[in-house]
Chain A
């Protein structure tokens, strides 16, 4: 990672690790894994992977074919370098711009430089913005201190982020009344707590594992029923009732 003439050797790690239960496709009849095989639409014959190229549709049904190597010509700098262009106040970056999250670790020979950069970013409240090439494509990334290390987020480009103004939103004719704002504020307070990510468990993951266990034990699996929701239209009465009930 380079800042001006300073080079800090770093390593990139993924910061997140999806725990969603994943399945592979199997043939229902015999439980054998399914293979995806490539066939030429014209010849109806199987095509080995070496004979597959990537096609970009320039007109309906008309493709420009690129070899795997030719895609690399667009990759960007190949020097394994995160080139910091400048620094910005980290609070100004709306998290909607953050795409994938990574951690930067220090390489053994450069721990001190890493620490200087980390501490200086923390002290200034800044994030470093730089470009780097990863898996044959160039990204713009923000690097910020997080929990004693540096976190790197690849960034969405401005034209990828939907602006609130692009959406069809109609304000109410009359704004919320003082009493409503006051009461809603109270309700928010009554449900206020400190954010503790450990409190939230992935219930869906648990439910899927349970179904797998039942099936493995040879049990019948019953479908659940749907629930209907009601929609009260008197906000004030609903707020009052919510507060009376201690929130929930």
Chain B
């Protein structure tokens, strides 16, 4: 199992539960490193003083804070670390709130908390907190310090375990009043049509049905490049224009959704499909070189089979 990112104790009232913190998500992205084009050799970055034009070793680097009046304030690592809060091994629960009141827009990074060590007392206290939070549909709010920074966190139950999420502070979530929202209150009939369209296109939430097509395509591009094939870059498409008659568009979409969704299109209508749809079919058909094909080329390749 992965190594814990942090260990300490979860404290609520006078109850302390020794816990360990694990990440709730894992990085699946493809990572690249910078190379020198000419010789394919890796690039390393070196730090230079912009004034002296000379290389600076890492221990000679400080933290500069720009102020309005010219010269930045410079802090050393030690000076900056004095701002780190004193309690470093405790998640202090301050309050319990209704889970439904905490909008996920405040959630930042997800983690799991697990009981630490094999003491029966720790495991029981952990289980007790899981049960109480689950039964009451509450989240615990608290603070804790990880790598010198203090976080506000919400602790709730996921998969029968305590899940901890770091939270954004109130002033870090932009107010919606600056966002251009909707116009007039919709006419009843329009709203009904939109609701009907949503209902017709509704399904259960199943995260496993979405695959990272970007990751897949990127791997495809890498493999093609490895074999020495040419990679062509697709050109930008134009932004679509809005349908002038919203009501008509709603009605037609609804008819389409009720008629079994947008999927069943005749094979000979390849030209009507988007590049993504064509690409998916090309993937199913295992058409070679599909990552570099334009919409038209994909349609042709599919039609030729």
Contact mask for chain A residues 170-186; partner B; CB cutoff 8 A; 1 contact, 0 none: 11111110001100110
Q: Which residues of the partner chain B approach A201 to less than 8 Å between Cβ atoms?
A: 169
Interface bracket on B: 35 or more
Q: Which residues of the partner chain B approach A36 to less than 8 Å between Cβ atoms?
A: 45-48
Chain B residue with minimal CB distance to A222? Answer: B82
Partner of A155, one of B76, B210, B238: B210
Interface bracket on A: 35 or more
B180, A170: Cβ atoms closer than 8 Å: no
Partner of A117, one of B66, B194, B205, B252: B194
A248, B37: Cβ atoms closer than 8 Å: no
B1 contacts chain A at the CB level, 8 A cutoff: yes
B149, A9: Cβ atoms closer than 8 Å: no
Q: Which residues of the partner chain A approach B97 to less than 8 Å between Cβ atoms?
A: 192-195
B249, A4: Cβ atoms closer than 8 Å: yes
* Minimum C-beta distance from A8 to chain B (A): 7
Which A residues, 1 to 25, have Cβ-Cβ distances below 8 Å to chain B? 2-9, 11, 13-21, 23-25
Q: Which residues of the partner chain A approach B103 to less than 8 Å between Cβ atoms?
A: 146
B74, A73: Cβ atoms closer than 8 Å: no
* Minimum C-beta distance from A140 to chain B (A): 5
* Minimum C-beta distance from A42 to chain B (A): 4
A57, B52: Cβ atoms closer than 8 Å: no
* Bound-state Cα–Cα, A191 to B18, Å: 21
Interface class of chain B by DSSP: mixed
Given contacts A4-B252, A7-B242, contact A25 B61 (CB under 8 A): yes
Contact mask for chain A residues 38-68; partner B; CB cutoff 8 A; 1 contact, 0 none: 1111110001000111111110000111110
Partner of A74, one of B87, B119, B256, B291: B291
Given contacts A6-B246, A155-B210, contact A34 B61 (CB under 8 A): yes
Contact mask for chain B residues 35-73; partner A; CB cutoff 8 A; 1 contact, 0 none: 111111111111111111000100011111111000111
Chain B residue with minimal CB distance to A142? Answer: B205
Partner of A41, one of B38, B42, B120, B168: B42
A27, B242: Cβ atoms closer than 8 Å: no
* Minimum C-beta distance from A66 to chain B (A): 6
* Minimum C-beta distance from A144 to chain B (A): 9
Q: Which residues of the partner chain B approach A239 to less than 8 Å between Cβ atoms?
A: 13-15
Q: Which 10 A-B pairs have the closest CB atoms?
A: A164-B159, A4-B253, A115-B182, A242-B13, A111-B183, A26-B64, A32-B51, A23-B63, A120-B194, A95-B104
4 extra interface residue pairs, beta carbon distance < 8 Å, beyond A35-B50, A66-B222, A109-B242? A33-B64, A101-B105, A148-B181, A165-B159
Can you name 7 A-B residue pairings with CB atoms under 8 Å?
A23-B63, A51-B37, A84-B201, A115-B184, A116-B186, A203-B85, A242-B14
